[in-house]
Amino acid sequence: MPPLVGVAPGVVTLKINGVDCSARDDQTVLEVAREQNIHIPTLCHLEGLESVGGCRLCLVEIQGMRGLVAACVTKVTEGMEVQTSTPQIEAYRKMIVQMLFTERNHVCSVCVSNGHCELQDLAVEMGITHVEIPYLFPKCELDASHPRFVLDHNRCVLCQRCVRVCDEIEGAHVWDNQGRGIHCRVVTGLDEPWITSDTCTSCGKCVHVCPTGALFEKGRSAGEMAKKAPQLPYLQNIRKGAARG
Amino acid sequence: MSKAKVATIWLDGCSGCHMSFLDIDERLLELAQHIDLVYSPLVDAKVFPDMVDVALVEGAVASEEDLAKILKVREHSKILVAFGDCAVTANVSGMRNPVGKEACLQHAYVDLATFNPGPPTSVVPKLLDKVRPVHEVVKVDVYVPGCPPSADAIFAVVSELLAGRIPDAAGLTRFGA
């Protein structure tokens, strides 16, 4: 979020897909593209949370920069020339989504989030009708110790929205990551059962920012878990107001 | 014009995709004018024909019998369609993969058995170690995800195939549809 007081941000001009745009210099490529109604697919990004550039779906090509960069964490600069869609970028995005499908067990037909899932939507958007990478079928645990919510690692895409919303908005920091690469898992507390976490306020924000069926409310059956995306920028402003008194 | 020879087979699935095929309803009469259903759980033929134009394959490859069937179907089909989520992703059939074949057999045939415990030794085909989607075993020409794919999606795909085109089911259906 831009500061309300202090040094006024500068204005820069740049080109996205050949379209001239002007923007504040504290904005990201993703923000400016969205203002211009230029679509860039995202998964880990959520308005109101710090961007981490984790899922790599928002990769874009910027002239003069080595390799592709994540639009959600790249600030605009004067004279920047951005391409949001090239055959190479599209191929990478398709591969990323396919890898997400193979790395865990996304059995859409019986998933609580079937029909309300951002991973599923991405597959549709990219015209993915099958996954070319062999499925791993890993053995994944499920934590149903919380009285209201369930964590199902089978569906987790490691977007870290739960980690960030709990830390940045709720201020509880129940969630974190453990392990690296393919062994990475989100954990509650110090990798203890969710119910034993002393810091969890049971607010449920983690559940409702989760893009898939990895976090859901108990009692939901297949296709019943529609998430109510919380208005995070609104919540942030309330907290800022409260802090200022 | 001679009719297109069409086969449908059923590997490790629930037959829901075949049910959805029947849900095409009165349009089946339209299709029937253009196709000859030469082999299918819905007809009496016991032997897979020499060569069919289109084979719709429902279900994942889960047993030795499935494996033998799919190899035969591939060899004798011009166009092979992975028909539904089990064929395309392994889907519910593949849910035993993370726990393993032995644990599954143990639970189904020993832990839950009231008499005669132990996995079957005859008649029932032996399970493969892993359930695989069809395209991890043989080449697939057309993918139709969905659990099951809707009747409209199936009708659109089959109509395209009959018109001599290879359809792309993207936009018609999706995983879990």
Q: Report pLDDT digits (tens) over B105-157.
A: 999 999 999 999 999 989 999 999 999 999 999 999 999 999 999 999 999 99
Last residue in a domain, options A85, A120, A136: A85
Residue A95 resides in a domain: no
Task: Examine the pLDDT at B55 and tell me if it is beyond 70.
Answer: yes
Q: Which of B88, B92, B95 sits opposite A130 (nearest CB)?
A: B88
Q: Based on the domain organization, do A58 and A147 belong to the same domain?
A: no
Residue A4 resides in a domain: no
Residue B121 resides in a domain: no
**B54 interfacial to chain A (CB closer than 8 Å):** no
Q: Based on the domain organization, do A45 and A150 belong to the same domain?
A: no
Residue range(s) defining the domain that contains residue A81: 11-85
CB contact under 8 A, B136 and A134: yes
**B174 interfacial to chain A (CB closer than 8 Å):** yes
Average pLDDT over residues A69-83: 97
Residue B175 resides in a domain: no
Q: Based on the domain organization, do A191 and A151 belong to the same domain?
A: yes
Task: Examine the pLDDT at A1 and tell me if it is beyond 60.
Answer: no
Average pLDDT over residues B61-71: 98
Detail the DSSP E strand segments found in A135-201: 142-143, 149-152, 175-178, 185-188
Residue B63 resides in a domain: yes
Count of CA atoms in the C-beta half-sphere (13 A) of B170 = 13
Residue B122 resides in a domain: no
Taking the C-alpha atoms of residue B129 and residue B116, their distance in angstroms, rounded to an integer, is: 24
Last residue in a domain, options A51, A85, A119: A85
> Pick from A165, A173, A158, A157: which is nearest to A49 by CA?
A165
A4 band by pLDDT with thresholds 50, 70 and 90: low
Residue A99 resides in a domain: no
Q: Which residues of A touch B168 (CB under 8 A)?
A: 127, 129
- Complex confidence, ipTM: 0.94
**B80 interfacial to chain A (CB closer than 8 Å):** no
Q: Which residues of B touch A114 (CB under 8 A)?
A: 176
Residue A1 resides in a domain: no
Percent share of chain A, pLDDT over 70? 96
Residue B171 resides in a domain: no
Q: Which residues is B72 bridged to in the sheet? A: none
Q: In this structure, what token pair is assigned to residue B41?
A: 């759980």
Q: For residue B75, what is the domain's CATH number?
A: 3.40.50.700
Task: Examine the pLDDT at A234 and tell me if it is beyond 90.
Answer: no
Q: State how far the alpha carbon of A106 is from the alpha carbons of A206, A214, B82, B93, in Å.
A: 19, 10, 18, 13
Q: Based on the domain organization, do A80 and A127 belong to the same domain?
A: no
Q: Based on the domain organization, do A119 and A192 belong to the same domain?
A: yes
Number of separate domains in chain A: 2
Write down the pTM of the prediction.
0.93
Give the model's pLDDT for residue A129: 97
Q: Based on the domain organization, do A122 and A232 belong to the same domain?
A: yes
Q: Based on the domain organization, do A144 and A194 belong to the same domain?
A: yes
CB contact under 8 A, B175 and A120: yes
> Pick from A121, A136, A203: which is nearest to A169 by CA?
A203
Percent share of chain B, pLDDT over 90? 96
Q: Report pLDDT digits (tens) over A155-212.
A: 999 999 999 999 999 999 999 999 999 999 999 999 999 999 999 999 999 999 999 9
CB contact under 8 A, B174 and A120: yes
Q: Based on the domain organization, do A125 and A204 belong to the same domain?
A: yes
Q: Report pLDDT digits (tens) over A104-163.
A: 999 999 999 999 999 999 999 999 999 999 999 999 999 999 999 999 999 999 999 999
Q: Based on the domain organization, do A122 and A218 belong to the same domain?
A: yes
